[in-house]
Amino acid sequence: MKHKISPSLLAANFANLAEDIEMINRSEADWLHLDIMDGVFVPNISFGFPVIKAVSKLCKKPLDVHLMIVNPEKFIPEVKATGAKIMNVHYEACPHIHRVIQQIREAGMEPAVTINPSTPVFMLKDIIKDVYMVLIMSVNPGYGGQKFIEHSLDKVKELRMLIDKTGSDALIQVDGGVNEKTAPLLLEAGADVLVAGNAVFAASSPEDMIHQLKAL
C-alpha cells in the first residue's frame, strides 16, 4: 500500500482557511489532519467543533481528527457530527481506552489511538487488533514546528513488529517534525501515514511539498 499524507491544518493561515482547504483539495493529500487542544491535556488551545464543521463543508478529503483533550469520549457525538472519518484519542487521556475504541466504532467512525513520546509501544498490545490506526507522536503534543524526536523511529519499528506479530491491520501514523528529511526514515521504519504541518504550509509551494512527500 502506498503511504498516505495528512497535512495538519494547525500550520495553515487561520485568517483564510478556505484558500488553504482549496489547496488541499487540489493536492495529492489523502486526508486532512485537525488538531484539537484543550489547554488541559496539552499546554495550548487550538480550535473546536464549529471550526471543524466549517472546514468539513469545504474539504473534499477525509478528516483525521486528533483530540489532545481530557475525556475525549464525552465528545464522540460532536466529532461524528462534523463528518470526520477518523477519531483519534490519546492513550494517556483514557483510563478505559478499550471502551472508548468500541464507542467510536459504534458511532460509525474509525478509532485511532495516539501515544506520547514517553508512552511505550508495548502498552498497545491488548488493543492493537481493535484499532484502525495508531499515531506515534514524534514531538510532545501542543505545538507545531517542533524538532523531531529521533527515538520515534525505533518506536515505529517496534510497532510494526507488534502489528505483524499479532495479525493486526492497524495503520501506523506519525505526527510531529515530519519533513522531507525525516519522512524517508519514517517510511523505511514502517510508517503508513505521515502528518505534516509546517513542512507543508511554510513551504514556498505547499502543493509541491505534498507531492514531494507523497512521491517518496
Catalytic residues: 35, 175
Query: Which of residues 65 and 121 has its CB atom nearest to Zn ion in the complex?
Result: 65
- Angle formed by the axes of helices 49-58 and 17-26, nearest 10°: 50
Minimum CB distance to ligand DX5 smaller for 103 or for 146: 146
Question: Residue 151 annotated as binding?
Answer: no
The widest CA-to-CA distance across the chain, in whole angstroms, is 46
Residues in contact with ligand DX5 by the rule CB under 6 A? 8, 10-11, 33, 35, 66, 139, 141-146, 175-178, 195-199
Using CB positions, name the residue nearest to Zn ion: 66
Report DSSP state, residue 132: S
164 in a known ligand binding site = no
Q: Is the CB of 37 or the CB of 121 nearer to ligand DX5?
A: 37
Residues 6+ apart with CB under 8 A from 104: 76, 87, 89, 110, 111
Cα distances from 121 to residues 102, 127, 164, in angstroms, run 20, 11, 14
Amino acid at 53: K
Q: Which residues bind Zn ion (CB under 5 A)?
A: 35, 66, 175
CB nearest ligand DX5: which residue? 197
Annotated binding site for a divalent metal cation: 33, 35, 66, 175
